[in-house]
Amino acid sequence: MLFKYRSEYKKIAMDMLSLLPEINNIDFVGEEIDWYSNSDSRNIYLWKNQENNWAGLISVEEKPKNIIIRRIILTPESWSINNCCVMIDELSHIYLDKKVVGTMDTTSICEIWEKRNVDEQ
């Protein structure tokens, strides 16, 4: 289940962001969270897995017709394409009127999710 970022979740979000190999500086983690917090069009969502443990983070930027997935992060023990797709499914239910798209880093996962949705219909 996705939970919209709130200040009480800062440590959890920082822990998730620190899993990214390109983020090796704790100051950058704080700057990343601030970048999302300082805009109404950008959001961070934290994800709890089936065992009710914090297991992922998905960050987005809202545009008039699209929701851009900027980051998808899962803990090592939770990482799977299926869990990524579950997170995107939940996100798509939050932004019903928006098309889900990715960045250069997240497009491949978004395409897998989109193909799964087409195959299921």
Cα–Cα distance measured from residue 10 to residue 36, given in angstroms and rounded to the nearest whole number: 12
**Which tokens sit at 86?**
């579950």
CB count in 10 Å sphere of residue 77: 9
pLDDT at 121: 61
- The whole-number average pLDDT for the span 27-50 is 94
Burial of 12 (0-12, 13-18, 19+ CB in 10 A): middle
pLDDT at 28: 85
Cα–Cα distance measured from residue 81 to residue 13, given in angstroms and rounded to the nearest whole number: 21
Q: In which residue are the tokens 């969270």 written?
A: 33
CB count in 10 Å sphere of residue 76: 6
Q: Is the pLDDT of residue 24 over 90?
A: no
pLDDT at 27: 78
pLDDT in tens, 62-121: 999 999 999 999 999 999 999 999 999 999 999 999 999 999 999 999 999 999 987 776
- This prediction has a pTM of 0.93
Q: Is the pLDDT of residue 25 over 80?
A: no
Q: Could you tell me the residue ranges of all domains in the chain?
A: 2-120
Compute the residue count for the chain. 121
Is 2-120 in CATH node 3.40.630.30?
A: yes
pLDDT at 92: 97
